[in-house]
Every structure is written in C-alpha cells, then in structure tokens.
A and B are shown apart, each in its own frame.
Chain A
Amino acid sequence: MTVGPVAFMVLAAVLFCIGLFGALSKKSAVAVLMCIELMTNAVNLNLIAVSRFVTPDSLAGQFTAAFIMVVAAAEIGLGLALVLALYHARRTVELDRLDRLKG
C-alpha cells in the first residue's frame, strides 16, 4: 500500500483541527502556544506533502516549511517570554482569568 497525498492532507487537517480546538479551548497559555505550534506543523506537513507530490523537482515547499519552523521557534521564544512576564504580573497563566477586557 502506498501512502498518497490525500493521506498526508487528511493527517494535516486532523492535526490542524486538534491544534485549533486546543488553541480555542485550553486553559493554560502554554498549552495554547503548544497548540498553535501544532497548527503551524500541520501547515508545514501540507506544504511538504504538496511539494513532494505535485512539484517533486522544486524544493520550494520544503524551504518554506524550514522557514516557517525558524519563525515558529522565534515565535515560541517570544510567546514563552510573554507567558513568563504574564506570570510575573498576574501570578497565573490561566486564560480564563485574564479577562480584564470584559465589557
């Protein structure tokens, strides 16, 4: 049995949905960051799969994925720093309790 592009795309979609669900429903800010990471990885998987199966001669997808990983690493660094600062200020990272914008 060969693994076709559809399987990759289904896997990417499942990953994205898990990430999206987690980002929208997790209490902890750290968990939300992790879920965002999951969603970017789902995108990366898609990019690589499409690049591999649709344009096998070009490595544009792979490069873009690598680029995104770098950006994601930087983003997670910044995100964790924000979470730390948030913890310093509010002694919590639970998103439910960060509701100062409530009208």
Chain B
Amino acid sequence: MAWVLLIPLLPALTFAVMAPMSRRARTTWRWLPLAAMSVSLVLSLLAFARVWPGGSQTPTFHATTVLARLGGVPLSVGIQLDPVSVMMLLVVTIVGVCVQVYSLGYMHRDERQGWYFAVLALFSAAMLLLVLADDFLLLYMSWEVMGLCSYLLIGFWHEQEAPRLAAIKAFLTTRVGDVGFAIGLAVMWASARTFDFSVVLHGFPFGTAIATMIALGLLFGAMGKSAQVPLHVWLPDAMAGPTPASALIHAATMVAAGVYLVARSLPIFEQAAPWVLEAVLVIGILTALTGGVLALVQYDIKKILAYSTISQLGYMFIVLGAGAEGAALFHLMTHAFFKSLLFLGAGVIIHATHTQDIREMGGLRRAMPWTTATFLVGALALSGVYPFSGFWSKDDILTTLWTSGHLVAFWFALGVAALTAFYMTRLCVRVFGDNACSLAREGHNEMLAPMALLAAITAVVGFSSQTFAHFLLGETQAPLNLTIALTGTAFALGGIALGVWVYLFHGVDTDRLKVRVPYVYAALQHKLYFDLVYDRVFVGGFRSLSAWLAGFDRTVIDGAVNGAAQLWSATATTLWRGDVTLIDGAVNGVGALVRGAGARAREIETGRLQTYQRLALAVLLLLLVLSVVLLRGA
C-alpha cells in the first residue's frame, strides 16, 4: 500500500514542476494541480475502501524511515493510514478538487493565476501529508508548510496594502502559537525521545507535570492555527486573499488542523492535569461566543463567514474539552463541506456584484437562483437545521456535552447555535432578500458545479453520523436523543425566526439599537478591542523596543565601528605621509640626482667634432704636462 504516499506526493510534485515555470507557462498548465488532486482523490477513495469498515485504532498501513540518529536515538518519520487519516484525506481531497475546479472560473482573469494554482497544490500536499503523518515531527513540518502557503495565498494580491498586512499578521499570529507547539514538542522529545504516535499516544508514562507541559504547548499551537481566542485576530484579516483559497485554507482544512492536532493528541491531554481539558473547553466557549457575537456587526460577507468559522472552530474545541474527539472530528468534516460551500457561494456573489459589503447587495435570489439555493443549503447546515449535515454534527456535540455532564458548556453551545442561526439569517436576508433590483449575473458552470457537489454532500452526509462514529473510533453511538435534537432545532429555528423578524420584517430598528446601546455596539465594532490591544501592547511595544535598539545601534555600535574606522583612517594617513615624504623622497631623489648628472654630462656632448678635438687636445696637453712633472719627479 505504498501508493498511499502518492496522495500527498502528487500535488507536491505539481508544485515542484510549476514553481520554476514562467508566468505564461504556469497559466497554461493551471489545470495540472487539478489533475494531481483528482488522482489523489481517487487514491483517497481507494484508501478509504481499504480501511473500511474501520473502527480500529491500529493503522491499516504504516511505513517509517529513519531520518537521523541523534546520540544513537533514531529520529524517524513516517506515514500511517487509519480511519481518522482517511476521513481527513477525503475531506481535503474533495474540498481541494472542488476549490481547484471553482478557481479555474474564479481566477481566470488574473495574470498570476498560475502561481495561485501552484501554491494551492503545495498547500494540499502539506495538508495531506499532515493527516498522514505518523509522528509529531512530520506533522509539525507539514503544519509549517501550510502556514507558508496560507501566507502566500492571503498576500496573493500583494500589490494592495491590505492583503500584504493581513498576510504578515496571519503569519506572525500563527507563529506565536507555533512557538508553543515547538516547545511542547521539545518537552516531548526530552521526555520520550521519540515523536511517534505509536509511542507517545499509546500510554507512554509522561507523568502529569510533563504531560501538562506538552499538552499546553500543543494546545497553544492549535489555538494559533485554529484561530482560537485570543489568537483569532488573523483569520478575519486573512479574508483579503482570493475567496476560493479562503474556502480551502481558512474554512475547510488548515484552520481545522488545530482541531485535528488536539483530537489526535487527546491521550496526552488526558494524562495531563484535569484543568488542561477544562481550559480547552473554556477557550472553545470563549471563541464560539466571540466569533458569533462579532459576526453580528460585520458588513463584509467574507468577514461574517470568517467569524462564523472562528465560532464553529470554538464549537469543536468545546467538545474536545469534553474529551470526545469523535464529535469534534464529525463537526470538522461537516463544517469543512458546508463552510467551503458558503465561501464558494460568497465568491460567486462577490464576482457578480463587485462588492463584499452586504449593505450594497440584495435581491440576488432572482438573478442567481443556483447560487441562492446552494448558499441556503450551506446556511441552513451551519444554522443546524434538519436534515442538513450541520444539524447532525451539532446535535452530536450537544448530546456529548449533555451526557458527559458539561451542562454550562451545553447551554453556551445552545446559545451559540441560536446566535449562528440569527447572523446567518441576517446575512441571507441582506444578500438574497429585499427587493433591490440587481444586475448581477449567475456564475460560470465551473463555479456552480463544485458548489452543487458540496451542497449535495452537505445535504446527505449528516445521516452517516452513526456509521461515522463507528468507522472512526469503533464506538457505538447512542441513537438520536429526541429531546436534545428538538431543543437544538428549537434554538436554531428561534434564531432564524428572530433574524427574519428583525431583518426581513424590520421588527426592530437596528439603527436605533446602535444608538440605544452605544457602548456595546462600539465594542463589537472594534472587534472587542483585541486588535487594538495587540496593536498597542505588542506591535507598539516592539516598535518602541526596536526604536530603542536602533538608537543603541546608532550611538554605541555605530560609534565603535566608526571610531575604529576613523582610527584606521588616521593611521593610514600618517603612514601615507611618511611614504610620500621619506620613501618616495628617497626614490625620487635618486632619480633627480641621476637626471641632473645626466643633464650636466650631456652639455659637453655638443655633437661638434671640433669640440671633441679641443677636448682631446686639452687632455693630451694635460697628460704631457703630467708626464713631464712626474718624470722629472722620478
């Protein structure tokens, strides 16, 4: 079954092939990632068939390789195929293929679309590798590659200011979480000397203190990736990227990776101090509430969906805090389908109306019947209305919370469900309702087809709730608890009814409400001041720290460097002076002496014969005189 490795490898190869291409060639080959993802989808289905009927925690396929030996301890990475991986593989490949097809229509006018498709392929590869990883090291690596792809796709339109800033913000915020993740992994290595799931997740005796440290580290990483309070601030801004990329990365898959991580490592959380799981629960509740409340006041269609994603991820964390990974993963799956459906729908709407502001939309139901229908399916699923998938997964969560005795969380979850239904109704009424005449046109077929597929999945996948629980964990789920199901439905319908009353029939003047409770509205408008506080405390703090460091750099370090330079310069000048006067003086002096002597000597070389003769005569006479004098002397 080594072909399982091909599932992440094919999209990765696609990226490797497309990355060095020219812009034009990439545009020509833009269908290549789609082809790779389709093959991955087929292979994932085959893998699913192999794992079926599941229910066992032992991997169907497991292969490892030793990367290195650290002090004799093998550092190995590998892949494994178990029910959870297969479920995630299917989610990623199905949503991935849908988004790829959709993007062909959505991005077809963009000049750099080839790069977009290539990065999308790399992202899919990383996500597929993440869910196949059999150890925390490979998981962490894929995790970081996903972060990089997220950064690249958020900042895809980097000619504009907002996507650029959003990309940096997303990268840095998730990086804060990743530091926690890395610390957790370091503690894990120090204690267990391995990252393998087969060891650390199957009863390795960490001890409560160590397990608590690891669990907190992993939780922090998951909070960053899954946009949990207080690290949620990057996700709404990340909507500056292309909408299909938001659908795949910031709704369906990457943000769910945190849930997947916590679900996978739940055995460590159970070894840790009890308050760690409670912290997960509380973070989940806070996130679900924050996301839901903030979605109420947004006017940007994508930001509403982003806050709703945050809220739903909080939902998954709530149930993870209750120790039930089955319900969390089921909600992860259903959410991946209906939220990507909603994002794709939002993309079509944005394409058609050229705005993201829901106040400028309205009456789209006539112009865009297909989009309206599929979007409503997604919205109903998100609101938790029978028979759509969201109802089943939400009911699963509520039942788990009720039976495990987390009653406070149960009521909070119900409240958030009503809140979700309310703001989705607000969104749908604003976009599709009203009677504003719209010139918008229905989207292309390659955009509608994936939405139809996702809508179909959303409509039916909920009924697999029982099978799913058995496939994933081998648990036999209690049959539908009618009381809880009815309560959940009542809250959802209540939220919808309230939304219809407020926004369709204008039962409450929302503008007067803003004036009536200005503090509340201002707080919501400012995103509960999270961004403001971060901006003041962290960004501002870093700014002043770096200003101080820059000053230190300029005065002390630059001063020392410049002083040394000046010293050298002065020394060199002195040496130069000596060189010029002493050495050059000596050399030039010799030259001048020779030259002067030569000039003197040539004066007698007149070229006239008679001068020479006179000279010869003079010398002759001199010699005569000398010889006479000397001879006489002798």
Contact = CB atoms under 8 A, between A and B. Distances in A.
Chain B at the A interface: mostly helix, strand, loop or mixed?
Answer: helix
Contacts of A55: none
B617 A103 contact: no
B373 to A, nearest CB: 114
Interface string B603-632: 001111110011001000000000000000
B602 interface: yes
Contacts of B607: 98-103
Nearest to B604: A103
Given A20-B617, A24-B617, A95 B610 contact: yes
A17 to B, nearest CB: 11
- How many of chain A's residues touch chain B, expressed as a range? 10 to 19
Contacts of A32: 610
B605 A24 contact: no
Interface in B578-620: 601-602, 605-610, 613-614, 617
A10 B617 CA distance: 20
Contact of A102 (B601, B605, B610, B614): B605
A40 to B, nearest CB: 16
A45 interface: no
Residue in A24, A95, A98 with the greatest tally of chain B CB atoms within 10 Å = A24
B602 A103 contact: yes
A95 B605 contact: no
A96 interface: yes
B606 A23 contact: no
A24 B609 CA distance: 9
A98 B609 contact: yes
Contact of A24 (B601, B602, B606, B614): B614
B608 A98 contact: yes
A103 B607 CA distance: 7
Interface in A68-88: none
B617 A25 contact: no
Residue in B602, B610, B614, B617 with the greatest tally of chain A CB atoms within 10 Å = B610
Interface residues of B, number: 11
Contacts of B609: 95, 98
A83 to B, nearest CB: 13
Nearest to B617: A24
A103 B599 CA distance: 10
A25 B605 contact: no
A15 to B, nearest CB: 17
A24 B613 contact: yes
A25 B608 contact: no
A103 B606 CA distance: 7
B622 to A, nearest CB: 16
A102 B607 CA distance: 4
A100 B605 CA distance: 10
A40 B1 CA distance: 129
Interface in B367-417: none
Contacts of A24: 610, 613-614, 617
A98 B607 CA distance: 7
A20 B609 CA distance: 14
A36 B607 CA distance: 20
A5 B607 CA distance: 41
Contacts of B617: 20, 24
Contacts of A20: 617
Nearest to B614: A24
Contacts of B608: 95-96, 98-99, 102
Nearest to A29: B609
A34 to B, nearest CB: 15
Interface string A11-51: 00000000010011100000010000000000000000000
A25 B610 contact: yes
Contacts of A101: 605, 607
Nearest to B603: A103
A25 B617 CA distance: 13
Residue in B602, B605, B606, B609 with the greatest tally of chain A CB atoms within 10 Å = B609
A96 B610 CA distance: 8
B613 A23 contact: yes
Contacts of A102: 605-608
B610 to A, nearest CB: 5
Contacts of A98: 607-609
A101 B604 CA distance: 11
A23 B609 CA distance: 10
A98 B610 CA distance: 10
A24 B617 CA distance: 9
Interface of B: 601-602, 605-610, 613-614, 617
Given A98-B607, A98-B609, A101-B607, 8 more contacts: A23-B610, A23-B613, A25-B610, A32-B610, A95-B608, A95-B609, A99-B606, A102-B605
5 contacts: A23-B613, A24-B614, A32-B610, A98-B609, A102-B607
Sort A-B residue pairs by CB-CB distance and give the 7 closest, nearest first.
A103-B605, A102-B607, A99-B607, A101-B607, A103-B602, A99-B608, A24-B614
